[in-house]
Structure 1
């Protein structure tokens, strides 16, 4: 199928995002996507926020009385990959053992490829949806979307005019619980607080007693943060998911058995279990320049994630853990979100999955990481993650996000194309 070729070509275009340190950018990938759309008569526009940092936007469909547009979006950038750690080169797009391998195969050039094949096929055959659709392939999602989706909604909001709902990553993939495939649709997302902590003290000679040591002060705060036990907090989305799991397990879902129910997901519990609580992980430390010099300043970075409805608890706890002697600055502070798991769009997602996998269960979940959905919500869109993949029971799929040997099954890509085609028939 064409989806495999498109996915491979996208992987071969290195769009590694190093954050503040730059990278090759998304321009070549954006031009490739624009060319695929142009081949079938869909006009698109490439928007550059900085040289090489490019997003693609196109309008498609419509022509009826409907004015409620649908945004379908994916991102073109990927996190970096070290080739020496991989079984195959991460930018080769090789097909081995029934998988397409490479950085972006899971996050998220697979969905870009599925979307492009479905749109191209429908355009060629004249099956253009009555509902107006905006196709958007963004830059910089892997660094918070500040040079991609954020720029688009701020400087070019007109390209999304009329859009009331949005569909993007990360959802629609299957896990296996008690022998049943359970497809997870993203309906919520934790907020993100990438935070810089700074402690200051008195500089001095390393051989002398110093009770005003910035490193000691910072280390104490980082230790408190890293060892803090956050309480279980269930949002409406997770209550719905746990109820579905409990039904398969022959029990009832309660806050007390939430952790054990999450264990039913096996390897996927790594990601899904993360959204039972707020969390903060220390990730970087920096202080000093010589072993016998006590520095006047020490800094640390922590990755904080917080649940919808529990923002106040998160920030109050962070302040308490830091104490009065550590200042807090935010590198990126983005709110969480949660939308109702109901309505015609949700019905279309569920029905399109069940048409291809009738014995499956479909339920919502809360995403542990961040996506571009946070930005599109600012324009009032109800947004979901739905990149459908039917996965082997023994594949540790969640480990492949930003992981080594990232790969996606060829038959999962083909399944996703069929599901997305059915989905567009119903929206």
Structure 2
């Protein structure tokens, strides 16, 4: 019976993914987009069809979060939280080969914004839960499902909102799984390692402000806010932070180098990473702290020197290095430029050990014998940053078996985002096994 149920989930997951992609949930960083309400109502309907009650929570109209709880066989065990976000970054259709909100199946893939970030996992969650409920297959422990808003802008209206105003929904969960982990990297003849996210860099989106003396553009002015800001931004943009190998990154490099059969050159880590093929860019971003200027704004007329000028920067810091990071940022800014946070979220790191990790490895090996699981650090951020505040251990585990030629890292926020159909079907099988083993 379990085999029939899993096959049904495989059959359904592709259509669910397509239908979710077709619901535009573009997040522009404010409330100007369509919001997540339509997608949340779609999920609620799909859960209701199989007898799962859910509820939608909102801090702002239309910015919707859906939470459901499925009773497990052993109520004495702490629940497992499985969460995904419903919002996506915007897409400019003219840049795409196919309609970014078409959910089209072509060339063996489902195309569209959110295909890998992260409506693929949302679809897996729905497909597996729906078929387990239809087959009467009770999970070993309670499962809490959360489909969240606003992850692409830091989670103010999503994960942060739930943790701050409705912690009782998830506070008894011991562990959580979500996006950007469990995907394969091919390293030999039909050999794959699966990267499990156990850490991620902290986020510091900052607004910088320089103040000076306003005046006529024809006059000599040695207190020019634009000049001060431009110099500070240039210092930030050109600065190279030192390489700092955190525990997760070191373990990852040691295990991956062994698998690839290459030497781990600790004196030249970047050269080692460069030999890792398609994942080199993703891993290279976790070797050091970083800051990138992204927005400049100052003045309103060519012959008027403004009194203030502003910029925005995207800062990322490694676990355990937050204080060091901001001390260096302030040194680079200098005394005449102030900073304030647009969004500041902590770095996250947990151990790659225990029953949950064993369940991930076993579920993957059951579908891909010889699968090697390794921990890694994500350079971006996820809703794990919110849930870790409640003491929940977070892992990135959205299983996908990928063709070696696919630039998976390039799919995130990229043009022509797509996910392989067979990868989705594989993910549904693995997720079902994982739930059974967890």
TM-score by length of 2: 0.95
Aligned equivalent of 1:107: 117
8 Å contact kept, 1:201–1:297: yes
After superposition, residues 176-255 of structure 1 pair within 5 angstroms as: 176-179=186-189, 180-255=191-266
Whether 1:119 and 2:129 are equivalent positions in the alignment is yes
Q: Aligned pairs, how many?
A: 427
Report Cα offsets for 1:243-268 as digits up to 9, x if no partner.
Answer: 11121233553532422232233222
Provide the C-alpha distance between the structure 1 equivalents of 2:419 and 2:92, rounded to a whole number of angstroms. 19
Provide the C-alpha distance between the structure 1 equivalents of 2:127 and 2:269, rounded to a whole number of angstroms. 39
Structure 1 counterpart SS, 2:219: coil
Provide the C-alpha distance between the structure 2 equivalents of 1:177 and 1:222, rounded to a whole number of angstroms. 40
Provide the C-alpha distance between the structure 2 equivalents of 1:9 and 1:65, rounded to a whole number of angstroms. 34
Q: Pick the aligned partner of 1:32 from 39, 42, 59.
A: 42
Q: Pick the aligned partner of 1:358 from 354, 369, 381.
A: 369
Provide the C-alpha distance between the structure 1 equivalents of 2:270 and 2:424, rounded to a whole number of angstroms. 31
Aligned equivalent of 1:334: 345
Whether 1:168 and 2:168 are equivalent positions in the alignment is no
Structure 2 counterpart SS, 1:349: helix
Aligned equivalent of 1:159: 169
Provide the C-alpha distance between the structure 2 equivalents of 1:170 and 1:199, rounded to a whole number of angstroms. 37
8 Å contact kept, 2:263–2:272: no
Deviation at 1:64, TM superposition (A): 2.0
After superposition, residues 384-423 of structure 1 pair within 5 angstroms as: 384-423=395-434
Structure 2 counterpart SS, 1:163: coil
Structure 2 counterpart SS, 1:345: helix
Structure 1 counterpart SS, 2:431: helix
8 Å contact kept, 2:229–2:337: yes
Deviation at 1:331, TM superposition (A): 0.5
Structure 2 gaps, min length 5: 1-10
Deviation at 1:166, TM superposition (A): 0.5
Provide the C-alpha distance between the structure 1 equivalents of 2:263 and 2:272, rounded to a whole number of angstroms. 10
8 Å contact kept, 2:181–2:195: yes
Deviation at 1:20, TM superposition (A): 2.0
Report Cα offsets for 1:116-169 as digits up to 9, x if no partner.
Answer: 111111111111112111000000010100001111111111111420101011
Deviation at 1:272, TM superposition (A): 1.6
Structure 2 counterpart SS, 1:135: strand
When residues 289 and 21 of structure 1 are mapped into structure 2, their CA distance, relative to the original with a 3 A threshold, is farther
Q: Pick the aligned partner of 2:385 from 360, 374, 380.
A: 374
8 Å contact kept, 1:66–1:132: no
Provide the C-alpha distance between the structure 1 equivalents of 2:300 and 2:172, rounded to a whole number of angstroms. 55
Report Cα offsets for 1:241-298 as digits up to 9, x if no partner.
Answer: 1111121233553532422232233222121210010000000000000011111111
Structure 1 counterpart SS, 2:284: helix
C-alpha RMSD over aligned residues: 1.2
Report Cα offsets for 1:28-61 as digits up to 9, x if no partner.
Answer: 0000001111110110001121111101000013
Provide the C-alpha distance between the structure 1 equivalents of 2:281 and 2:262, rounded to a whole number of angstroms. 22
Aligned equivalent of 1:297: 308
8 Å contact kept, 1:348–1:423: yes
TM-score by length of 1: 0.98
After superposition, residues 123-162 of structure 1 pair within 5 angstroms as: 123-162=133-172
Provide the C-alpha distance between the structure 1 equivalents of 2:142 and 2:43, rounded to a whole number of angstroms. 20
8 Å contact kept, 1:9–1:93: yes
Aligned equivalent of 2:290: 279
Structure 1 counterpart SS, 2:264: coil
